[in-house]
Amino acid sequence: MLEHFSYFITVFLMMAGLFIVIARGNLIKKLIGLSIFQTSVYLLYIAPGKLVGGTAPILATQFSTYSNPLPHVLILTAIVVGVATLALGLAIAVRIREAYGTIEEDEILTLDHTVEVAEAQSAEARGGS
Amino acid sequence: MKYDLVLRVVAKLLIPFILLFALYVQFHGDFGPGGGFQAGTIFGAGIIFYGLIFGVDTARSVLPDWVVESMLAAGVLLFAGVGIAGLLLGGNYLDYFVLDKNAVIGQHRGIFWVEAGVFITVAGVMLKIFYMFALRGRPED
Amino acid sequence: MIIDVLLILMAISVLILMRLRNLFAAVVLLGIYSFLMATVLVALDAVDVAMTEAAVGAGVSTVLLLGALLLCKSSEAKPVHKPWLPLTVAVSTGVLLVYGAWGLPDFSDPQAPIHQHVAPRYLQNEVDVPNVVTAVLASFRGFDTLGETTVVFTAGAGIIALLRRRQRVDKDRKNGA
């Protein structure tokens, strides 16, 4: 049980992120959930690479056991890519807010639906005349 | 926030050290924790901190838009250019050992320039994102 | 163990974050969560990653989220739907993942496959750079890093395309006309 504790916390964080992404309608809250999900992936990669009694993978003569450097490399790049894509998502949210006046998913869908209905009606009216 | 004395004084004290630390992380990255990604984000965060305290326009006069925008592309081009230099010197793409007669020194040279490329792009992207969000909030004139 | 305590703190902060409806508080809590994550990463020997996470997760992304919040002027609306369906999806996926996690190697098991495959070769220090993370990042996995840098560049270009204002072009056009 205790040997797998970090995995269980990772799964919990992942599912919390997934829940926020699905359940919340606010686009910024969705992005927060997405970044929690992403952070849990960092944990999923880094935790198995740790060796108790080992040290950070910076070679020195007085140490012989090192934690695995490969996950560190993968996640290091993933963090920076993560913030860049988060910013891209936020930029899209800002543009949506400017276009629709709201960033609540339900309100956006309602607005889209209203526009569609209005367009269909005007097309019908044109077809009738 | 613009006239908060404590923040301004603390920021003035801290920012030179943040930027110096970013350069330390960049150039000492072979021997201690560090490298292009870390240094780029720290450098970007330092300038963003400056922009938050003293206003975006002050930060933009330190690093103007055209500099930041060319940093975006310059870093990737530098990285790709190291690969092409390897090709021209007779190795495969992104082979570093051909960059010098001594293979290990060639590796060090390749790693240095590659990390420099990563630093430039990452710092540029962080700053550009911040400028973009900060300037979007202004009414159009 | 300090890692477990920090992990529990992270779980608590996420639990609070799930229930929060105030977006400003949620963003600040996300910053705290990122700092906890950076601390966990130090405890897990990933110093390079921790440095980046502290600068990016707690610093830059908090600033960006606050900036976006200011631009959107939004507080979260009351939910229209009951959260039962997403909760079922999340919990059932979580149960599956926990079931799968039982089969993973124990924490810090030196015989785990991750420590057997390529890591020993990386740790032999072929390129004479003491920081193995830098060596692997720039030399062994150079193509990977080139790709990641390109992704970062593309994201930056995308943000410029989305948020740039075209006022100067309009002014020129007016002057020309």
Is residue C60 within 8 A of residue B45, CB to CB? The reply is yes
Query: CA distances (Å), B63 to each of B66, C133, C153, C162, in order?
Result: 8, 30, 18, 21
Q: CA B114, CA B75: separation in Å to the nearest integer?
A: 9
Tell whether the model's pLDDT for residue B14 goes beyond 70.
yes
CB contact (8 A) between residue A76 and residue C137: yes
Q: How many domains does chain C have?
A: 1
Q: What is the ipTM of this complex?
A: 0.91
User: Which chain A residue lies closest to B41 (C-alpha atoms)?
Assistant: A80
- pLDDT, tens digit (0-9, with 9 covering 90-100), for B118-137: 999 999 999 999 999 998 87
High-pLDDT (> 70) share of chain B, %: 96
pLDDT tens figures, B93-102: 888 888 888 8
3-state secondary structure C108-138: CCCCCHHHCCCHHHHCCCCCCCCEHHHHHHH
Q: Across all residues in chain C, what is the average pLDDT? A: 87
Residue C172: what pLDDT?
A: 55
Contacts of residue C66 in chain A, CB cutoff 8 Å? none
Q: Determine contact: C89 vs chain A, CB below 8 A.
A: yes
> Residue B51 sits in which domain range?
5-136
- A15 vs A36: CA distance, rounded Å: 9
Of C80, C110, C123, the CB nearest to A57: C123
Give a yes or no: residue C175 inside a domain. Answer: no
User: If pLDDT is split at 50, 70 and 90, which confidence band does C12 have?
Assistant: very high
pLDDT of residue B140: 65
Subunits in contact with chain B (3 or more CB pairs closer than 8 Å): A, C
Q: Contact C55/B122, CB-based, under 8 Å? A: no
Query: Does residue C113 lie in a domain region?
Result: no
Q: Is residue B50 part of a domain?
A: yes
pLDDT value of position B16? 95
Q: What 3-state class would DSSP assign to B69?
A: helix
Residue B141 located in a structural domain: no
Total domains in chain B come to: 1
Q: Is residue C52 part of a domain?
A: yes
Residues of B in contact with A77 (CB under 8 A): 37
For residue C59, give the chain B residue with the closest CA: B45
Residues of chain C neighbouring B18 (CB-CB closer than 8 A): none
> Which of B:25-54 have CB within 8 Å of C?
25, 29-38, 41-42, 44-45, 48-49, 52
Whole-angstrom Cα distance, residue C64 to residue B51?
13
User: Is C156 in contact with B115 (Cβ distance < 8 A)?
Assistant: no
Over residues B44-78, the pLDDT tens digits come to: 999 999 999 998 999 999 999 999 999 999 999 99
Model confidence at C76: pLDDT above 80: no
Task: Name the residue among A19, A12, A37 with its Cα closest to residue A89.
Answer: A37
Nearest CA in chain C to B104: C127
In this predicted structure, what is the pLDDT of residue A25? 86
Count: domains in chain A: 1
B128–C55 CB contact, under 8 Å: no
- Mean predicted confidence (pLDDT) in C7-33: 92
Burial grade of B37 (CB within 10 A; 0-12, 13-18, 19 or more): buried
Q: How far is CA B42 from the centre of its chain?
A: 8
What is the reported pLDDT for A16?
94
Average pLDDT over residues C127-144: 88
Residue C176: inside a domain:
no
Q: What pLDDT is attached to residue C177?
A: 43
Residue of A56, A80, A91 lying closest to B122 (CB–CB) = A80
Residue B62: inside a domain: yes
Average pLDDT over residues C154-168: 85
Query: Does C168 score more than 80 pLDDT?
Result: no
What's the rounded Cα separation, in Å, for the pair C123 and C119?
6
Q: pLDDT digits over A51-81, tens only?
A: 888 888 888 888 888 889 999 999 999 999 9
Dihedral over alpha carbons B120, B122, B128, B133 (to 10 degrees): -160
Question: Are B78 and B54 a contacting pair, CB within 8 Å?
Answer: no
C44 at B interface, C-beta within 8 A: no
Helices of type H across chain B: 5-27, 36-54, 56-62, 65-88, 103-136
* CATH number for position A48: 1.10.287.3510
When pLDDT is cut at 50, 70 and 90, the band that residue C175 belongs to is: low
How much is the pLDDT for A46?
Answer: 92
Do residue C41 and residue A83 have CB atoms under 8 angstroms apart? no
Point out the residues of chain A with pLDDT beneath 50. Answer: none
Instruction: Please indicate whether, in this complex, the C-beta atoms of B32 and A84 are within 8 angstroms of each other.
Output: no
φ, ψ dihedrals at C43, nearest 5°: -65, -25
| CB nearest to A56's CB, from B33, B126, B136 | B33
Between these two residues, C166 and C85, which has the higher pLDDT value?
C85
Look at residue B26 in the predicted model and tell me its pLDDT.
93
**Geometric angle at alpha carbon A87, from A31 and C21, rounded to 5°:** 30
Residue C32 belongs to a domain? yes
| Structure token pair of residue C2 | 């300090």
Q: What is the largest CA-CA distance in chain B?
A: 59
Q: Which domain holds residue A75?
A: 2-128
CA distance B60 to chain C (A): 15
Q: Which domain holds residue C43?
A: 1-74
How many CB pairs lie under 8 A apart between chains A and C?
Answer: 273
Do the Cβ atoms of B31 and A58 come within 8 Å? yes
Q: Output the pLDDT for position C170.
A: 52
Answer yes or no: is C57 within a domain: yes
